[in-house]
Amino acid sequence: DLEQQNASAQCELDALRSRCYKPSNLRALYEEQLKELRREAEQAKLQRDLAVAAKVPVVNQLSAVKKRYEDAVEARKKAEEDIEALRPDVDAATAGRISLEKQLETLEAEISFLQRVHGEEIEELMKQIYNMSTSCDLAFSIPDFAAALRDIQMEYEAIAAKNLQEMDEWYKSKFVDYSQASTKHVENVRHYRGDMSNCKRNIKSKEMELNSLKNRNAILESQVKETQEKNKKEIEELQEKINKLEEDLKTLKHKIALHLREYQDLLSVKMALDIEIATYRKLIEGEDSRLGTSVSGLHILSNLSETLQVSTTQTFSKSVERKESTTVVKS
């Protein structure tokens, strides 16, 4: 009976030993999963860093385009101020040119009228002279008034033509000067208008480029935000898995500790049983020579068997109670 109990205890010990060694593979599996989860977390972090690094040059380019846009707006403002400063001069030159044109027209009309009046007066004077020369019949010779009048008329006409030509040349020179000044101002205005058109085109182009970069920046920011949220969610999920695995690992370690404690208890019981069996075996062998004491030896052996059964039963009962209490605590 003692040998059977010893064999049973050895089988129980082997079973517990095999149960204690099995979780090592489970720990390796958990560690492999933890490594895989850490690797995924590192990859997600690397993707986030790459997205942030790709955003930096776009932000720098956007700042440069913004600066060029502000410079173009400043140049346009300056050109408009120059045009506004030259506008009074252009208006004054235009008004002066119009006034000179009106004065020229008035003088031309006046000269034409004076020439016509002068011609009529000369014609009337010639008629009077001719009438006087035909009506007077004098005995002495009279000077040729007609020739003198013709000379005076020619001299007067030459002087009038000269004055008219000088006046015409003076007005023409003034008109040319004002026309040149007006043309110069008009060219300046045209030049500034061309500059304004170029500035407007540049500003429009920069605005389109700025809007394009803003849209691209918004897309990149959205991608970075989505990547960060995705990475955050994945990291949270990985952290939850890691926490769960750590809890499972703690539970497993606790189970292993309990099994080891049971193993130590059973090993202690086995060693105590082995010692008691060896002791009683020696006692029995020493008393075999005495027939009178054989009955008492059998009685002692029976008592020893009962004692061992009770001790073994108590040990296994304590082990079962410890397992049940552990299960209740975990639940």
Percentage of the chain modeled with pLDDT above 90 = 0
Q: d(Cα 13, Cα 237) in Å, to the nearest integer? A: 41
pLDDT, mean of residues 264-291:
77
**Residue 73, token pair as written in the block:** 């707006």
Instruction: Give the model's pLDDT for residue 130.
Output: 62
pLDDT at residue 27, rounded to an integer: 59
Place of tokens 């205005």: 189
Q: Are 249 and 30 in contact (CB under 8 A)?
A: yes
Residue 105 · residue 176 · CB < 8 Å = no
Residue 254's pLDDT is what? 86
- Range from 25-39, 140-154, 307-321 carrying the lowest mean pLDDT: 307-321
* The token pair that represents 104 in the structure block: 């020229």
Give the CA diameter of the chain: 229
The size of the chain, in residues, is 331
- pLDDT of the residue at 326: 47
Distance CA 267, CA 229 (A): 56
What is the distance of C-alpha 70 from the center of its chain?
19
| Residue 142 confidence class, pLDDT cut points 50, 70, 90 | very low
Q: What residue spans define the domains of the chain?
A: 2-330
Residue 63 φ then ψ, to 5°: -65, -40
Average pLDDT over residues 218-236: 81
- pLDDT exceeds 70 at position 289: no
**pLDDT for position 276:** 80
**Residue 290 phi, psi dihedral angles, 5° rounding:** -100, 120
Query: What digits encode the pLDDT tens for the residues 46-99?
Result: 887 887 787 777 778 778 878 887 887 888 788 778 778 777 777 777 777 787
Lowest mean pLDDT: which of 33-37, 140-144, 185-189, 310-314?
Answer: 140-144
Q: What is the mean pLDDT of residues 278-300?
A: 62
Q: Which residues of 289-304 are buried (b: 16+ CB within 10 A; e: fewer)?
A: eeeeeeeebeeebeeb
CATH of 2-330, one of 1.10.10, 1.10.287, 1.20.120, 2.60.40: 1.10.287
Confidence of residue 5 (pLDDT cuts 50, 70, 90): low
Q: How far is CA 109 from the centre of its chain?
A: 75
Label residue 114 by pLDDT band (50, 70, 90): confident
Distance CA 102, CA 250 (A): 110
Q: Mean pLDDT score of the chain, rounded to an integer? A: 71
Evaluate whether 273 touches 6 at the Cβ level (below 8 Å): yes
- With the CA atoms of 92, 93, 95 and 96 taken in that order, what torsion angle do they form, in degrees rounded to the nearest 10? 110
